[in-house]
Amino acid sequence: MTQPAPLTISIVTPSYKQPAWLRLCAASVADQVAPGLVVEHIVHDSLSGPEVEEAVRPFPNVKLYSEKDQGMYDAVRRGWDKATGDIFCWLNCDEQYLPGALHEVAEYFRNHPEVDLLFADAIVVDGAGAYLCSRQVLVPHLYHTWTCQLHTLSCATFFRRSLLRERGFALDKRWRDAGDAALIVGMLRAGVRTGYLRRYLSTFGDNGENRGLRPLAIKERGDLRGEAPKWVQSLDWLWKLLHRLRRFANGLYHPKPFAYDIYTESSPQKRVHFDVPKPTFYWKARMG
């Protein structure tokens, strides 16, 4: 049987004074081993100090760059500028990939050459790695994303290299909290070919600080909404309704039991198994 041509996935991790989380993140990337898959992990650190070097030392696959940046999105941009992969993505320090995640991504892109932008499901966990809720996705609708919210997570979003290198899409440094939403809105407006993978590929860390509810984040969401046509803004109730109907039709309000394995602060060298017999879509920090 002919082996598939190697496909390289470049992951950028923006870093600033989170060495303990970074170590777990790097471990979750380092064990993504599969035939025909090459993994490039770039950590762009904003001069945090020697603790970051110590955190990534056990992972020879990590390419560490220490230079001052202008925030998370600028760090990701700088990392993507250095990346050499076929597929680009980013994973924050308090996020992890689940076992086999990047193999699933590689197989999806191989089997769907028409898709340039891929979304997948993610699990929201607390600081100890325990389950909080499921974040299952659909292909985002432009008007809902533009005026209401981006319901996907960056830790489970993957781009073909051509979108950034040839078509010029990029994270805009003027956004501090809404950069990912602005990027996806731009891609949807341009008609980028998009798909989703009904698999849990990553974990998103909810450590008590809800970045999405900070005053700056709320302001930026308002600014992004203000760039939409007035008639689109006036129908935000319709986009919300359609989004909820799509979620209901796809069974996303009733996720099925599952299990996951991640690294934790108490087990940084071996994944810990978590069973989820009663999953929920309800994210208290965002909806409660």
Choosing among 3.40.640.10, 3.10.20.600, 3.60.15.10, 3.90.550.10, the CATH entry for 7-287 is: 3.90.550.10
In the block, which residue shows the tokens 């025909």? 36
In a 13 Å sphere around the CA of 116, the CA atoms on its Cβ side amount to 15
- pLDDT for position 284: 81
Cα separation of 50 and 112, whole Å?
A: 42
Q: β-strand 96-97 against 131-135: which pairing, if any?
A: unpaired
What is the identity of the amino acid at 253? Y
End-to-end CA distance of the chain: 52
| Amino acid identity at 98 | L
Cα 144 to its chain centre, rounded Å, is 19
Q: For the segment 4-59, what is each residue's pLDDT rounded down to a tens digit?
A: 778 999 999 999 999 999 999 999 999 999 999 999 999 999 999 899 999 999 99
**Contact, 119 vs 194, CB < 8 A?**
yes
Contact 222, 141 (CB under 8 A): no
pTM score = 0.94
Per-residue pLDDT at 272: 98
207 confidence band (pLDDT: 50, 70, 90): confident
Residue 94 pLDDT > 50: yes
What are the DSSP E strand ranges found in the chain? Answer: 7-15, 37-45, 62-66, 87-90, 96-97, 117-125, 131-135, 157-160, 194-205, 258-264, 267-276
**What integer is the mean pLDDT of 194-206?**
96
10 Å Cβ neighbour count for 2?
A: 4
| Per-domain residue ranges of the chain | 7-287
The CA angle 7-25-85, to the nearest 5 degrees, is: 20
Strand partners, 134: 123
Q: Which amino acid is at 118?
A: L
Nearest residue to 206 (alpha-carbon basis) of 90, 89, 128: 128
DSSP 8-state symbol, 49: -
Neighbours of 265 (CB within 10 A): 12
Phi, psi of 16 (to 5 degrees): -160, 105
Closest CA to 233 of 106, 123, 121, 148: 148
Indicate the residue type of 205. Answer: G
How does residue 211 score in pLDDT terms, banded at 50, 70 and 90?
A: low
Average pLDDT over the chain reads 94
Among 213, 210, 204, smallest CA distance to 96 is for 204
Cα-flanking dihedrals φ and ψ of residue 7, to 5°? -125, 130
What pLDDT score does 41 carry?
Answer: 98
Contact 124, 206 (CB under 8 A): yes
Residue 27: strand, helix, or coil: helix
